[in-house]
Amino acid sequence: MGLLTLISGFMIRYPAPNPPTTSNLQAHVQMDIESRQQIPSDIPEEIRDKYLFKSKLGSGSFSDAWEVEEISTMSRYCMKILSLKNCASHSDIISEFKYMQEISSKSPHVVKAYEYSVLDGKVFVLMELCPGGTLSEWIDLNRRFRLISEKRILHKLREISLAVIKCHECHIIHRDLKPDNIFLDNTRQIKLGDFGIARHLESSLSQTFCGTPPYMAPELYLLYQQKLKQKPIEGYGFQVDIWSLGCVLLEMSCEEGKSLSTMDKSLGSVALDNVMELNNIIDNCVPPDYTTVKRLLTRMLVPNPEDRISLQDIVIDGELLEKTSTAPHIKWYHLIS
């Protein structure tokens, strides 16, 4: 018997899945062998003997990320591989791993880090696999099909906020919140990742200029100007993450054809020069009926860090809770989201 599916009044019959055969299993093994042949030849045998390398997920300036399958359990993970020669600091890699372990133990919305090993001059970090891809990919796909409702945006915002709250409770400032560093699991739940430039921050302010320009807060640009002019440096605190999250919210809410990457100047730079221009950008990019998104943006994208809304106030916002209290009506095409 085949499988029957009813879509918009049409009955579609799918063939029943065939039981595994010897030839199918051989083909699967052959695919695994071919996949393993793609990996660099300098991967140590200790890693090759334990994991099958399924596919390359991406590459950064200093690392590669692979989907791997543990041979003994058939469990799938993401493995990040870094060369110690290209790493600015081995201690930074260890710190990132420890941050992820600490925060993910307290939040379901942070990528889990499982194992860390150093072999033959390389670092291997085993992490949770996020099959849903990045938030950036989610935005592009859903914007193309015009599926991003305000309810869905606010739902994502709340999950990201809950993850960042746990970071700050652990005295960790992320400093690089952006759609490319936010992932989705197989149920499309948010998973915050990439703590490469995160830092533990107690009472003192940070004075390091870092981040991704379109998502960087005004105080970071101010710090850069102070360094250039050799003026006293004020530093910055956890509020830079709230600004960056506001930029992520704006990116999710932008109408088709508009995004932070297409703007002439970053929002943080605009905010230092002209607050009215910043408000005009919000009005022009966000659909007029996204009233809750607009109101939250005007409270998150505030030049003075002390005046920004707190993450705790975002997650208990009355309108946000009202609009996300029930699951959105799912149509068949929402399955892509």
- pLDDT tens track for 24-68: 545 555 555 544 446 667 789 999 999 999 999 988 777 889 999
> Thinking of the domain 38-128, which architecture would CATH place it in?
2-Layer Sandwich (3.30)
Question: Which pLDDT does position 326 carry in this prediction?
Answer: 64
Give residue-wise pLDDT tens across range 168-193.
999 999 999 999 999 999 999 999 99
In 193-255 the beta strands, taken as DSSP E runs, fall at 199-200
Helix axes 239-253, 275-285, angle to 10 degrees: 40
Beta pairing partners, 55: 67
Question: Which pLDDT does position 179 carry in this prediction?
Answer: 96
Tokens of 197: 């430039």
Q: Judge contact between 292 and 282, C-beta under 8 A.
A: no
Domain segments of the chain as ranges: 38-128, 135-336
Q: What is the DSSP string of 146-190?
A: T---HHHHHHHHHHHHHHHHHHHHTTEE----SGGGEEE-TT--E
Question: Which pLDDT does position 331 carry in this prediction?
Answer: 45
The label of the residue with tokens 């943006």 reads: 297
Q: Judge contact between 290 and 253, C-beta under 8 A.
A: yes
* Residue 3 CB contacts under 8 Å (≥ 6 apart), including other chains: 13, 14, 15, 16
Q: Is 67 helix (H, G, I), strand (E, B) or coil?
A: strand
Question: Which pLDDT does position 234 carry in this prediction?
Answer: 83
- The CATH number fitting domain 135-336, selected from 3.40.50.1220, 3.40.50.1970, 1.20.120.1750, 1.10.510.10: 1.10.510.10
Tokens of 120: 């033959």
Parallel, antiparallel or unpaired: strands 63-70 and 51-59:
antiparallel
* Residue 326 CB contacts under 8 Å (≥ 6 apart), including other chains: none
Regions of the chain with pLDDT less than 50 = 1-17, 25, 34-37, 328-337
Answer whether 0.85 is exceeded by the pTM.
no
38-128 and 135-336: identical CATH topology = no
C-alpha to C-alpha distance for 253 and 259, rounded to whole angstroms: 9
Question: Which pLDDT does position 226 carry in this prediction?
Answer: 87
Question: Which pLDDT does position 334 carry in this prediction?
Answer: 44
Question: Which pLDDT does position 38 carry in this prediction?
Answer: 61
